[in-house]
Chain A
């Protein structure tokens, strides 16, 4: 397994609050790495550090062997790393197709407009937005906007996709559909780093899981290993004895 994204001793504080503290882990090519942790554990902050929204106080981020620490977001995107947002950021007055075309034009392959449109169309179809191509992004439903967020990132022909709570706000059918889309993305060889609160979903999707708590790595391993780890259970539920009991009952 070749390492694709290397997080090395990363730290970030906001005026005395240690959002991320000496965090290290690796995401490999072609794998789905799940990132879980209680609210406020620092997961979105980690994404922001990786794709350059703000620079870390310490540590390094390496992507495909290249040090990308602190690089501006557009340069990170050019290297093949795409990301979605927890609170979706559609380009409101543009259509679905135009939104995806932006992703395709400025992503890794830096496509010219005509070819970008084709890649955009393909990405929109892939996530299930084929009959919404000409709809303005502002008029989409929440599930449409979530799919658009994903399609835009896909259109960029990236090598690693960072998904931030793509399932939040969706009903069970929509969740199932989205999980299917994520699996098919992985089948294309694209690696995925996914933040998710829906335990069942992320446990079944991920090859490996990293657990974050208060900015530090709490545990790392396969879903089964992590689910059985007492410290993880305690972090989520607060009482290992209770958790074990519930775990036994489940």
Chain B
């Protein structure tokens, strides 16, 4: 992987994300890039299911939200340190995803897609009724928790760098999987699951592994994001809008590619930013997302990267 140019392009992107806010000193830039990083994390990991294996996961936000809850809870009453709490969140969520995945991945196509919404709603309902986690009012974190990190200002920077790191890991994970045997099997499943099975791809196991793998990094990101907010509640943690936006981003950028989710996230965030500042359209965020998705699916199903590859085939070797 180290010999391929794309590896270094990813490294460059990570460096830019890490250094730009530091160099410019702009907190606004940092916050903007933080949001972009989260979109990229969600989209890249979603791409493992959507782009590689061809399974639409409408409820992928559940990994982010549940990871957030586990991390915030562990930081609170039990008083775990940040790194341990975040990591625990990632591990627990991906293990749960593995078991859930083995079950619901027996469903195909639309059935699976709808059941992912059900999973999100069920987890949200559970959490909203779970007293130790604050029920429907949520959990608050005392700002004293920022002390070990050197105070709130410094903590925000540290969280930012961690999230950029997770973004980088997400991109490298997508890349590593794509060029591996596991990735080849997933792509075969995405093309034609029955043919893949006949060829010997262990479809139930691979799908569950992909589902589980797609849960880990978003769970970590969720932990850090809600730690930063110092507050988590069910309605925010399990907001389907976020995962729907992730789907639009993956399709916009180009499903099945690695650069796709990143590029899609950039364009989507630009569009969203514009929409929010324009009075007429601020209520229409989801409408815009829906219209965009419709146009992409109808006219540009391989997304922006697909269009680029079509025009300039050599790009495929550099930007995967």
Query: Assuming the A-B contacts A102-B184, A116-B181, are A94 and B191 also in contact, with contact meaning beta carbons closer than 8 angstroms in the complex?
Result: yes
Residues of A within 8 A of B196 (CB): 91, 102
What CA separation (Å) do A38 and B187 show in the bound complex? Answer: 37
The count of residues in chain A whose C-beta lies closer than 8 Å to any C-beta of chain B is 28
- The contact of A105 among B185, B192, B194, B198, by CB within 8 Å, is B185
- The contact of B200 among A77, A101, A113, by CB within 8 Å, is A77
B188 and A102 contact, CB distance less than 8 A = yes
Residues 144-202 of A contacting B (Cβ, < 8 Å): 152, 156
- The contact of A102 among B180, B199, B203, B204, by CB within 8 Å, is B199
B191 and A74 contact, CB distance less than 8 A = no
CB distance from A29 to the nearest CB of B (A): 21
Question: Which residue in chain B gives the minimum CB-CB distance to A102?
Answer: B188
Check if A112 is an interface residue, CB within 8 A of chain B: yes
CB distance from B308 to the nearest CB of A (A): 16
Question: Which residue in chain A gives the minimum CB-CB distance to B204?
Answer: A72
What CA separation (Å) do A94 and B192 show in the bound complex? Answer: 11
Query: Assuming the A-B contacts A101-B184, A105-B184, are A74 and B203 also in contact, with contact meaning beta carbons closer than 8 angstroms in the complex?
Result: yes
CB distance from A206 to the nearest CB of B (A): 23
- The contact of A152 among B180, B199, B202, by CB within 8 Å, is B199
Consensus secondary structure, chain B interface: helix
What CA separation (Å) do A133 and B178 show in the bound complex? Answer: 19
A78 and B188 contact, CB distance less than 8 A = no
B198 and A73 contact, CB distance less than 8 A = yes
A103 and B180 contact, CB distance less than 8 A = no
Residues of B within 8 A of A98 (CB): 184
CB distance from B114 to the nearest CB of A (A): 25
Check if A107 is an interface residue, CB within 8 A of chain B: yes
Residues of B within 8 A of A74 (CB): 197-203
Residues 11-49 of B contacting A (Cβ, < 8 Å): none
Most buried by A among B181, B196, B197, B200: B200
What CA separation (Å) do A107 and B188 show in the bound complex? Answer: 14
What CA separation (Å) do A138 and B136 show in the bound complex? Answer: 52
What CA separation (Å) do A105 and B188 show in the bound complex? Answer: 11
What CA separation (Å) do A156 and B187 show in the bound complex? Answer: 18
Residues 76-103 of A contacting B (Cβ, < 8 Å): 77-78, 82-83, 85, 89, 91-94, 98, 101-103
Chain A to chain B contacts (Cβ below 8 Å), 16 pairs? A73-B197, A74-B197, A74-B202, A77-B199, A83-B198, A89-B192, A89-B195, A91-B192, A91-B196, A92-B191, A102-B196, A103-B200, A106-B185, A106-B200, A107-B199, A152-B199
